DNA sequence: GGCATATGAATGAACG
DNA sequence: CGTTCATTCATATGCC
């Protein structure tokens, strides 16, 4: 087997080491090489992963068919284990953390909607989301406030960064994402990945899409812009 | 940026790391050329599947083991798929680290500083610091945010420790880690899945074996093969 | 080769 | 709504 090691430590220093760099747009684009054989192996591995995912989803469906409402426990659910019987709170988590499902729903509403939802709308959303975990209207309200504010901020930063004479192209992903109304990077994450891997199973596609919103927290959503480079 | 190194255990062919083609058995082996962005795309695609697998496994565990009431942070699925077991990452992204000069300047501004710099100020600072290394406005913004927050926390802790009141309620970052022995991010995702989940499906078991047994980690020993790079 | 710590980054909540 | 604070997540690094 072979191991691919990407040493990231001294990124600046290593730029010159690479023999295979090409110039792009007046800047330097760094490229890597791999053989067809290597690429084929990668493809297989991803396919295996996908297959595993599919079967795991199936297992999950079978299990949840029986024990459904036991809880949306994947997200927060801290349920004050530290609360004593006397009502004395020692230390408990306060901050709400959306579950994967909740996030997915929120993102969907956000991208289709324009502006912060009305109070009535917030109630509805909260009601819906409460089926997937503990949540309050305030949480929903704050989420939309933050989501909008940060989306806008990113735009501003991205726009202004175009004016700067940047000496490198490796800006943080925050700047590189310009949220266009037509794209939904977070929610398309999984399904797009599947496209890239050339999946045929449509059922797993939808199911993975269902799960996709939850990975928001791991890989920040911005980076998913422009996924399929060649497709 | 990064340098890709191929471990040479059994791939005698892949010798020219930085060349676009390598010679094999007297012939020419054709290889793909990728940008870092494309590679990161691949990484993400795999990471998506890895995350999905882990979350599905997690869900399965939760559904199976009802006595798992200890709570903890089940929802914070984190699989760190970017880190190989060898400690090398396959991510093109890495967090910004200020250079010595940049730090000096930042500290100076912070000390003389009157609170958080305005956005215009951040632009100026960023521009100045960019002469001493890669940096973005977001980096500067985050730095001041963190600097101020942690400075304040230190003050509070010092103050409370000076008091006869030993109610140390302010050291959240440290305290949190102490009170919650959070599980270490699992690098060997697939292997872990095998241990924790008893699959009835023999097919998936064998596949997990393929991934977890044949490879220590899917990111550890593998060839990167032609994803949609060229498509 | 785990831990421990420092710190960059993400984000829920609050402020004005 | 834009900005800021507080908390937490995630990673880099050093020690043992």
Q: Which of residues 1-40 of B touch A (CB under 8 A)?
A: 1-11, 13-14, 17-22, 29-40
Identify the DSSP state of B83: B
> Which residue of B lies nearest to A49 if distances are taken between CA atoms?
B49
- Contact state of A4 with B5 under an 8 Å Cβ cutoff: yes
Residue B116 contacts strand D, CB under 7 A: yes
Is B221 within 8 Å of A2 when comparing Cβ atoms?
yes
Q: What is the pLDDT of residue B58?
A: 59
For helices A100-112 and A202-212, what crossing angle results, to 10°?
A: 90
Nucleotides of C under 7 A from a protein CB: 3, 5, 7-15
Distance in Å from D15's C1' to A197's CA comes to 43
pLDDT of amino acid A143 = 93
Q: Which residues of B144-164 are buried (b: 16+ CB within 10 A; e: fewer)?
A: beebeeeeeeeeebeeeeeee
Q: What is the pLDDT of residue B59?
A: 59
Mutation choice for A interface testing from B202, B227, B231 by most A CBs within 10 A:
B227
Bridge partners of B3, per DSSP, are: A7
Q: What is the pLDDT of residue B108?
A: 87
* Tokens matching residue B94: 């890495």
Predicted local confidence at residue B148, as pLDDT: 87
CA neighbor of A6 nearest in space, from B93, B15, B211: B93
Task: Encode pLDDT of A79-94 as tens digits.
Answer: 444 444 343 444 445 7
- Low-confidence residues of chain B, pLDDT below 50? 1-26, 65-93, 164-172, 174-231
Question: Would you state the pLDDT for residue A93?
Answer: 53
Chain B residues near residue A223 by CB distance under 8 angstroms: 40, 44, 93
Q: Which nucleotide is nearest to A144 (CA to C1')?
A: C12
Looking at residue B109, its pLDDT comes to 87
How far apart are alpha carbons B102 and B119 in whole angstroms?
18
- Which residues, at least 6 apart from B223, have a Cβ–Cβ distance to it below 8 Å? A1, A2, A34, A35, A37, A38, A39, A40, A41, A42, B11
- Determine the distance between B231 (CA) and C2 (C1') in angstroms: 43
CB contact under 8 A, B2 and A7: yes
Per-residue b/e over B44-66, b at no fewer than 16 CB within 10 Å? bbbbbbbbbbbbbbbbbebbeee
Dist CA A6 CA A38 (whole Å): 16
Residue A93 Cα, gap to closest chain B Cα (Å): 10
For the stretch B118-139, pLDDT in tens is 778 888 888 888 888 888 888 9
With a 7 Å cutoff on the CB, does B82 touch strand D?
Answer: yes
Residues in chain A, pLDDT under 50? 1-27, 29-30, 67-92, 164-231
């Amino acid at each position: 087997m072979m191991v691919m090691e990407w040493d990231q430590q001294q990124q600046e220093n290593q730029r010159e080491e690479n023999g295979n760099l090409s110039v792009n747009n007046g800047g330097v684009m760094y490229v890597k090489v791999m053989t067809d054989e290597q690429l084929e192996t990668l493809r297989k591995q991803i396919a295996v992963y996908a297959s595993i995912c599919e079967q795991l989803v199936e297992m999950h469906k079978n299990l949840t068919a029986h024990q459904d409402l036991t809880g949306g426990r994947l997200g927060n659910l801290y349920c004050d284990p530290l609360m004593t019987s006397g009502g004395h709170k020692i230390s408990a988590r306060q901050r709400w953390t959306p579950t994967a499902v909740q996030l997915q729903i929120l993102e969907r509403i956000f991208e289709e909607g324009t502006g912060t939802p009305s109070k009535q709308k917030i109630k509805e959303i909260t009601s819906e989301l409460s089926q997937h975990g503990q949540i309050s209207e305030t949480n929903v309200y704050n989420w939309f406030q933050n989501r909008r504010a940060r989306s806008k901020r990113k735009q501003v930063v991205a726009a202004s960064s175009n004016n700067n004479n940047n000496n490198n192209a490796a800006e943080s992903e925050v700047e590189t994402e310009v949220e266009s109304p037509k794209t939904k990077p977070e929610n398309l994450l999984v399904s797009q990945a599947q496209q890239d891997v050339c999946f045929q199973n449509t059922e797993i596609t939808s199911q993975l899409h269902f799960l996709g919103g939850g990975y928001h927290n791991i890989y920040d959503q911005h980076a998913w812009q422009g996924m399929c480079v060649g497709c």
